[in-house]
Amino acid sequence: MVIHSSRSLYHSGAISGNPLFLDSFQRKGEVNPLDIVVLMKQTFDTEEKIGIVNGAVNEEGVRFVINPYDEYAVEEAIRIRDGLGGKVTVVTVGPERSVEALRTALAMGADEAVLIHDGRIPPDGAAVAGVLAAWLAGTPHDLILGGNFAVDTGAGQVAIRVAALLGIPHVGAITGLKVENGKAVAHRDAEGDVEVVEVPLPALFTAQQGLNEPRYPSLPGIMKAKKKPLTQLTLDDLGLPAPEAKTERIGLSLPPARQAGKILSGDLPAQAKELVRLLREEAKAL
């Protein structure tokens, strides 16, 4: 199925080994360097054991990393820049500890980093998106990349809200991307199928697992990261008032501990009878 519109083209179909994305970034003639921005978040290491203290996540002694889906976005931005030229800027709205994740992105190969840190910004997707959109409105951007969702909250709101606020097209859950001649063609995951989406730049894309294999920061990269620009901003620097949250967390708790299983004894008819009784009287499933 092909649908034409003024902004995009969609084509659904199974695609395997398409050479379009095997050599996505070959230079064809002269191209303008791209201003690439990656929206990034620092999250818990997925291997960490999460504890709740007084209704809040206990952060003491835990390891924080780049949100795994944002790592795909950082890697893709670096690959595109290396193929077509330009600059990669990573930006996050978060606490001061987010500097560590930004430094990791710089060590991977990003050129600049920006941390927007202000206690007046609530941890709400709409509020964070508003701040990022305000910063982007004054920052050159041809291509914006982000993760499909954040693993700490399970939300995938910020990036698509940013695209809406900026009035630019967005494509979510991409597994392939080619940028050329002022437009981008993306492969996106469509629940077992693949959609091919073409949009004009500037545009925003969120990365899905399978887009690439993020690199590990090398020792030279880590040393170079220490000298790369890392700017810290507040709402006052952006000329913004304190944003209003559209959502509020009213409670946070771990799921109840699972009860030990029961082993039924007796012959099969007796076990079946006992199972029905337990489902009816204890589990309330019947």
pLDDT digits (tens, 9 = 90+) for 200-239: 999 999 999 999 999 999 999 999 999 999 999 999 999 9
Biggest CA pair distance of the chain: 80
pLDDT tens digit sequence for 108-134: 999 999 999 999 999 999 999 999 999
Assigned domain for 181 exists: yes
- Rg of the chain taking only CA atoms, in angstroms: 23
Task: Provide the domain count of the chain.
Answer: 2
The per-residue pLDDT for 31 is: 57
* 67 vs 69: CA distance, rounded Å: 6
> Is residue 130 domain-shared with residue 272, that is, in the same domain?
no
> Is residue 143 domain-shared with residue 285, that is, in the same domain?
no
Assigned domain for 48 exists: yes
- 143 pLDDT more than 90: yes
- 84 pLDDT more than 50: yes
pLDDT tens digit sequence for 236-267: 999 999 999 998 888 888 788 887 888 888 89
> Is residue 166 domain-shared with residue 285, that is, in the same domain?
no
Bond into 202 cis (ω within 30): yes
- 83 pLDDT more than 80: yes
Decide: 148 and 194 in contact? Cβ < 8 Å.
no
Instruction: Tell me which residue range forms the domain holding 271.
Output: 259-286
> Is residue 50 domain-shared with residue 152, that is, in the same domain?
yes
Assigned domain for 244 exists: no
* 12 vs 3: CA distance, rounded Å: 10
Assigned domain for 100 exists: yes
Q: How confident is the model at residue 20 (pLDDT cuts 50, 70, 90)?
A: very low
